[in-house]
């Protein structure tokens, strides 16, 4: 965040320093332009050079004087910039230069086309939409949209509105050359359009809002023209500090939005010379007047990283105008909290919600009340096509600590064992950790009533959203490329043209920025924090010439063949030098393998008891981790078939899944189930702490809680584990089950479960030398079944538990 001290703000008032910075920037740009001219001059004649579109563009934007007086009006100013004059016409080179210089228009149109098509499917409508392109210039947008969905076949009518006579003439010629019968070019002020209120299904403004002096009246006007279910798309320049939007919950996310103060000063001053206003207030007012569907902040690095944004919006009251307007918020809140219906609209009239004690409310519901009471748009989550993703504040430090990176690109827990143990059915309401989302997709194949997916890391939930959107919009072949092979050369276009209607604003912006992951050599499965361990294993195999043997082991069809190949590979991966240099180090445990200190302590404590050692030395610590790895890998190779069943280790070795070895959700049959329209209606994705989500659920509503290994992360000297177990007792029904895995054979917190209304049972322990599941990463698996309701319970001390060692004792 760009939080400036008082002295720094004083420096910004120093105009001499501003001018110096702007002068330096201007000098750099002119130097680049001069080099470009020099290079081009050596390749072509002077006549050709002066006719080159980029040279003419640079002349008109940076050199040519605009001699129109201010009192001649905006149309005269536009003509000074675009019209035919001594040094050629900008209108004639507009499209040749703007395709690269005015980035984002094609992206915006692709998103809008996808959104319009998705709306027609959802509403089962065959009515053709009406489109107004405000500031449409030469008609380039119409031609681009024609290539996407066809102008005459898709739209009832298209109106291009622009104030520049030169650009309108180019647009009319374009309409004539294409033979469009349903396109009308209007050369007039946008404020004088003869448009019937609520008649425009689509309104677009690409790089025109920043050139309209009286933008307030234009934005107000088009908000009245927009139909109840209409959408608006705006693409334009901007400069803004994240401080300006830090208190707003309706902007669709702050990802990449901040422009540093040097950039704000430079670009605002530079564009002001051509009457292009980059004041952040224009974007602010658009976001105030419309509900945000998608919002993205990007940079155009062709000319030094010019900031631009894409905004996709709708009427603020679009949901409220529907026949079931009040039920939208009621049902959403009930689904989030498993609580009774109560409309936020009624709260404004009756002020009665606070009086209803013991009724938990979701953060989405609370934010809706605040915004409605303050005459603000609802958070962007309310305007999405789907209500999977729950509103969260992405500026909070607890979310930003992850630096926009997910840790796990795939799950390390075996959902097959989960299904066998839990027997998930249609009545189950499940609370689980998101991780990479693979297991959630597996559980959804059992069609439970609802799944609450929880993760504090927004990027993990972005990954789940991407997978859910893919099943909602893509054929099996594309889903397989994305998540079976981890690569897709056309991912960015899929994101814009297919996936965008099914994603939240934050998730869309994230994957737009990270689109290169799916075209990079390693693909999806060499991304994320856990990539370090996977890359290390592959590099070792390559270094020691084991790649051929690894590939063979991933192809053989019998366990005997697999066992025969393992010793050669094992001698490298489980060699003593590797153990000393890597595996026994803190870097491996905490960075590559993702083992937190408290879980590390559990491993050491088990090894100490096994070795009957009163104290853990540094040497024994290294041996404990080493033995844990050996106990994990040897049984996997001995008892599971990597080529056709154990897709966890197959992925680690090969970097992708195979048609024979992959998660259940990537089956052809699973795709036919998960791609049905109502499959994800019961999915709710919470970006928050686990305890925060539990606190907002109604008592005795959950039937299953799947904690993975998260309980291992608690410090046994603190009360966090106790508090979570008490909270779980409150929200689970009697007979409800908690499933978790642990790095310990008997984790210390099982005793706390037993003293707080649960019956604990170990349903898998690997001390027998066999796998407890196909991953075999954990020492034990447990199910704790709720037997009784409790109101309060004393904190259990370590002395009462008796099996946990403190971090200090283990020298962690």
> Which H or E element spans position 244?
none
**Spatial contact of 236 and 218, defined as CB atoms under 8 Å apart:** no
Share the mean pLDDT of the chain.
83
Domains and CATH numbers, the chain: 99-315 (3.40.50.150), 325-383 (no CATH), 531-654 (no CATH)
Q: Which of 36-50, 198-212, 566-580, 689-703 has the weakest average pLDDT?
A: 36-50
Rounded CA separation 400/459 (Å) = 10
pLDDT value at residue 470: 98
Measure the CA–CA gap between 464 and 433, rounded to whole angstroms.
Answer: 11
Angle 325-337/363-373 helices, nearest 10 degrees?
150
DSSP code of residue 279: -
> Who wins on pLDDT, 337 or 275?
275
Whether 806 has a pLDDT exceeding 50, the answer reads: no
CA atoms of 2 and 263, how far apart (whole Å): 12
Which of 618, 541, 535, 537 shows the shortest CA–CA distance to 580?
618
pLDDT surpasses 60 at 99:
yes
How far apart, in whole angstroms, are the C-alpha atoms of residue 465 and residue 472? 10
Q: How far apart are the first and last CA of the chain?
A: 34
Q: Rounded to an integer, what distance in angstroms lies between the CA atom of residue 248 and that of residue 242? A: 10
Mean pLDDT of 212-224: 92
Q: What is the pLDDT of residue 514?
A: 96
Signed CA dihedral, 118, 121, 127, 128: sign only: positive
Kindly report, residue by residue over 470-479, the tens digit of the pLDDT: 999 999 999 9
Task: Give the pairing of strands 306-315 and 290-300.
Answer: antiparallel
Cβ atoms of 328 and 368 within 8 Å: the answer is: no
| Amino acid 572: pLDDT | 82
Q: So what's the pLDDT on residue 96?
A: 62
Note the pLDDT tens digit of each residue in 670-689.
Answer: 999 999 999 999 999 999 99
What's the pLDDT score for residue 573? 79
Q: Is there a contact between 190 and 134 (Cβ–Cβ < 8 Å)?
A: yes
Q: What is the three-state SS of 99-167? A: HHHCCCHHHHHHHHHHHHHHHHHHCCCCCCCEEEEECCCCCHHHHHHHHHHCHHHHCCEEEEEECCHHH
Per-residue pLDDT, 36: 56
pLDDT digits (tens, 9 = 90+) for 385-415: 998 999 999 999 999 999 999 999 999 999 9
3-class DSSP state of 185: strand
Count of CB atoms situated within 10 Å of the CB of 176: 10
- pLDDT value for 405: 94
Give the Cα-Cα-Cα angle 103, 104, 109 (nearest 5 degrees).
Answer: 135
Q: Tell me the per-residue pLDDT of 731-767, one tens digit each, with 9 for 90 and over.
A: 999 999 999 999 999 999 999 999 999 999 999 998 7
Residue 205: enclosing H or E segment and its boundaries?
A: strand 200-206
Order of all β-strands in the sheet with 226-237: 183-187, 157-162, 130-134, 200-206, 226-237, 306-315, 290-300
Q: What is the tens place of the pLDDT at every residue in 292-307?
A: 999 999 999 887 889 9
3 state DSSP class of 454: strand
pLDDT value of position 542:
87
Cα(324)–Cα(317) distance, integer angstroms: 13
Residue 623 has a pLDDT of: 78
**Is it the case that residue 2 has pLDDT exceeding 50?**
no
Quote the DSSP letter at residue 742.
Answer: E
Which residues, at least 6 apart from 20, have a Cβ–Cβ distance to it below 8 Å?
A: none
Q: Which helix (H) or strand (E) holds 173?
A: helix 165-178
pLDDT given for residue 6 in this prediction: 38
How confident is the model at residue 8, as a pLDDT? 41
- pTM here? 0.86
Residue 609 has pLDDT above 70, yes or no: yes
pLDDT digits (tens, 9 = 90+) for 421-463: 999 999 999 999 999 999 999 999 999 999 999 999 999 999 9
The model's pLDDT over 515-526, given as tens digits with 9 standing for 90+, comes to 999 999 889 999
Round to whole Å and give the CA distance between 605 and 613.
10
SS3 705: strand
């Amino acid at each position: 965040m760009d939080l400036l001290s008082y002295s720094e703000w004083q420096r910004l008032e120093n105009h001499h320093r501003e001018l110096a910075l702007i002068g330096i920037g201007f000098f750099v740009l002119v130097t680049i332009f001069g080099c470009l001219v020099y290079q081009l001059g050596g390749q072509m004649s002077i006549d050709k050079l002066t006719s080159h579109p980029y040279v003419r563009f640079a002349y008109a934007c940076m050199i040519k004087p605009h001699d129109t007086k201010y009192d001649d009006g905006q149309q005269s100013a536009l003509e000074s910039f675009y019209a035919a004059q001594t040094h050629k016409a900008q209108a004639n080179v507009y499209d040749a230069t703007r395709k690269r210089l005015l980035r984002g228009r094609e992206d915006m149109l692709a998103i809008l086309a996808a959104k319009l098509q998705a709306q027609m499917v959802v509403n089962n409508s065959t009515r053709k939409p009406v489109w107004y392109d405000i500031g449409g210039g030469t008609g380039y947008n119409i031609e681009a949209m024609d290539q996407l969905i066809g102008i005459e076949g898709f739209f009832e009518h298209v109106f291009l509105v622009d104030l520049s006579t030169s650009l309108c003439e180019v647009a009319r010629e374009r309409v004539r050359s294409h033979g469009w019968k349903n396109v009308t070019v209007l050369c007039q002020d946008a404020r004088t359009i003869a448009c019937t209120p609520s008649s425009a299904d689509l309104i677009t403004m690409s790089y025109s809002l920043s050139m309209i002096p009286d933008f307030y009246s234009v934005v107000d006007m088009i908000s009245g023209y927009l139909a109840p279910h209409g959408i608006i798309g705006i693409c334009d320049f901007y400069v803004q500090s994240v401080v300006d939007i830090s208190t707003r919950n309706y902007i669709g996310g702050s990802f990449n939005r901040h422009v540093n103060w040097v950039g704000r000063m430079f670009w605002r001053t530079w564009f002001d010379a051509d009457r292009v206003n980059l004041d952040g207030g224009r974007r602010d007012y658009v976001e105030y007047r419309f509900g945000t569907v998608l919002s993205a902040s990007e940079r155009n690095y062709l000319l030094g990283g010019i900031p631009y944004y894409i905004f996709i919006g709708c009427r603020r009251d679009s949901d409220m105008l529907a026949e079931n307007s009040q039920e939208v918020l009621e049902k959403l809140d009930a689904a989030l909290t498993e609580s009774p219906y109560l409309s936020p609209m009624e709260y404004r009239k009756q002020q009665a919600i606070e009086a209803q004690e013991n009724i938990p409310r979701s953060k989405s519901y609370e934010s809706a009340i605040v915004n409605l009471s303050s005459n603000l748009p609802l958070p962007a989550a309310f305007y999405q096509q789907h209500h999977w993703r729950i509103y969260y504040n992405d500026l909070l430090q607890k979310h930003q600590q992850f630096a926009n990176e997910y840790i796990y690109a795939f799950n390390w827990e075996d959902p097959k064992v989960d299904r066998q143990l839990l027997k998930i059915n249609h009545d189950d309401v499940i609370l689980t950790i998101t991780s990479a989302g693979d297991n959630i997709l597996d559980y959804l194949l059992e069609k439970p009533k609802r799944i609450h997916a929880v993760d504090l890391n927004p990027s993990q939930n972005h990954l789940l959203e991407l997978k859910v959107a893919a099943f909602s919009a893509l054929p099996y072949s594309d889903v397989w490329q994305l998540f079976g092979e981890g690569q897709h050369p056309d991912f960015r276009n899929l994101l814009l043209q297919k996936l965008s209607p099914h994603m939240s604003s934050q998730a869309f912006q994230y994957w737009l920025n990270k689109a290169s992951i799916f075209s990079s050599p390693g693909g999806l499965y060499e991304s994320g924090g856990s990539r370090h361990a996977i890359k290390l294993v592959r590099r070792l195999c390559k270094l020691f010439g084991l790649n051929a043997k690894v590939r063979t082991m991933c192809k053989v069809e019998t366990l005997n063949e697999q066992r025969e190949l393992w010793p050669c590979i094992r001698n490298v991966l489980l060699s003593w030098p590797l153990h000393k240099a890597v595996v026994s180090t803190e870097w491996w445990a905490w960075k590559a393998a993702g083992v937190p200190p408290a879980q590390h302590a559990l491993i050491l404590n088990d090894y100490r008891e096994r070795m009957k050692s009163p104290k853990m030395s540094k040497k024994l610590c290294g041996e404990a981790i080493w033995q844990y790895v050996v106990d994990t890998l040897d049984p996997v190779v001995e008892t599971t078939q990597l080529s056709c069943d154990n897709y966890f280790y197959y992925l680690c070795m090969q970097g992708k899944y195979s048609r024979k070895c992959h998660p259940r959700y990537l089956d052809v049959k699973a795709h036919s189930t998960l791609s049905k329209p109502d499959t994800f209606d019961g999915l709710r994705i919470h970006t928050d702490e686990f305890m925060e989500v539990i606190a907002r659920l109604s008592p005795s509503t959950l039937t299953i809680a799947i904690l993975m290994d998260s309980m291992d992360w608690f410090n046994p000297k603190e009360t966090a584990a106790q508090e979570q177990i008490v909270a779980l007792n409150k929200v689970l029904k009697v007979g409800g089950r908690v499933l978790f895995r642990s790095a310990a054979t008997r984790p210390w917190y099982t005793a706390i479960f037993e003293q707080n209304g649960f019956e604990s049972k170990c349903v898998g322990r690997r001390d027998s030398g066999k796998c407890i599941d196909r991953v075999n990463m954990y020492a034990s698996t447990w199910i704790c079944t709720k037997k009784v309701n409790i109101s309060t319970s004393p904190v259990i001390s370590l002395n009462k538990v008796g099996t946990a060692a403190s971090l200090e004792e283990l020298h962690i």
